[in-house]
Amino acid sequence: MREMANEDFESLLARRGEQMSLEICSDQQNLVNVYGFANYLPLAIANALTWTGHAVRDETFYSSAIDFLATGDLLAVQRAESFSGRFGSEKLNEVLCGWKISLDKIGGAIPALYSCSAEGLYAIQQNCFSAISQLLDQRQIRGIGPWLFCAPFKIIAAHRQDLWRSEGLDKVWMPLGLEVVRAITGLIRTGYAYFGGLDLGMLAEEEGGLKEGLGTVLLVQEACRRISKKAKTRVLHINSGLYLYGRGELIEQ
């Protein structure tokens, strides 16, 4: 790609990505209006599970999943499982239980998410990563890979529009997933300079174990940070733009 074409493409990624981030923000705000701020991270976790198709969007799913993640009520997780999606009830239970055990281990760091700084959001994500990594190593939980770990924090980053002007938000790890990987793979094959150092084999393995997959996430995050600098935007929006590009929806019809 010629340099001018790169600039145009990066601006397009930023503009369309911010539009998508605004849609995520609006969706999450609608949920907050119903379920409140009291269980802010559990709500983001529940919403992320509807993105992947682990669960279907339904008021009873949201209320049951939030109840279980907040209280550990086994009847609540059983209700939530009845709204399982394409991966089945066992996988949904596995992820919900993994997050519940993780949240219990993390403890009091969670309530500040709805009012913390961008640096604070990143610090909480790091605390969660440390706790979940230990639990995975100890085989106490299963089912939380790179996407399911990062996605709730992307939802919160999108919802927290008050943080969008903060450069510290660019540290918060963003999820990859099939669409973003497809976008990056295609760009590498065209010779797009910002992703030139990434290995196609590593991208194919992104949804492996949490630690291994996050190695790839961090490499992509740094490339997206450089793109965001050039486009004068946030990594959050570049991530959203890449998702749209991977779906073939970056160019508005």
What pLDDT digit, counting tens, does each position of 32-72 carry? 999 998 899 999 999 999 999 999 999 999 999 999 999 99
Q: Residue 97 belongs to what domain range?
A: 33-145
Residue 7 placed within a domain = no
pLDDT value for 5: 46
Q: What average pLDDT does the segment 204-227 reach?
A: 85
Residue at 130 is within a domain: yes
Positive/negative CA dihedral, 30, 163, 95, 215: positive
Q: Is residue 55 part of a domain?
A: yes
The token duo for 128 is 């969660």
| Residue 248 buriedness (CB in 10 A; 0-12 / 13-18 / 19+) | exposed
Residue 73 tokens read as 């009520």
pTM above 0.85, yes or no: yes
Residue (of 195, 171, 197) closest to 183 by Cα position = 195
Segment 108-153, tens digit of pLDDT: 556 578 889 999 999 999 999 999 999 999 999 999 999 999 999 9
Q: What is the distance between the alpha carbons of residues 136 and 77, in angstroms, rounded to a whole number?
A: 21
Shortest CA distance to 71 belongs to which of 93, 40, 39? 39
Residue 119 lies inside a defined structural domain of this protein? yes
Please check whether residue 54 lies inside any domain of the structure: yes
* Predicted local distance difference test score (pLDDT) of residue 6: 44
CA-to-CA distance for 128 and 216, rounded, in angstroms? Answer: 18
Evaluate whether residue 132 is within a structural domain: yes
DSSP 176-233: -HHHHHHHHHHHHHTT-GGGTT--HHHHHTTTS-HHHHHHHHHHHHHHHHHHHHHHTS
**Does any domain span residue 127?**
yes
Examine the pLDDT at 85 and tell me if it is beyond 60.
yes
203: Cβ–Cβ under 8 A, 6 or more apart, which residues? 176, 181, 184, 185, 216
In this prediction, residue 3 carries a pLDDT of 38
- Any domain includes 66: yes
Number of domains in the chain: 1
Residues 6+ apart with CB under 8 A from 159: 24, 25, 28, 29, 32, 44
**Is the separation of the CB atoms in 251 and 218 below 8 Å?**
no
60 vs 81: CA distance, rounded Å: 10
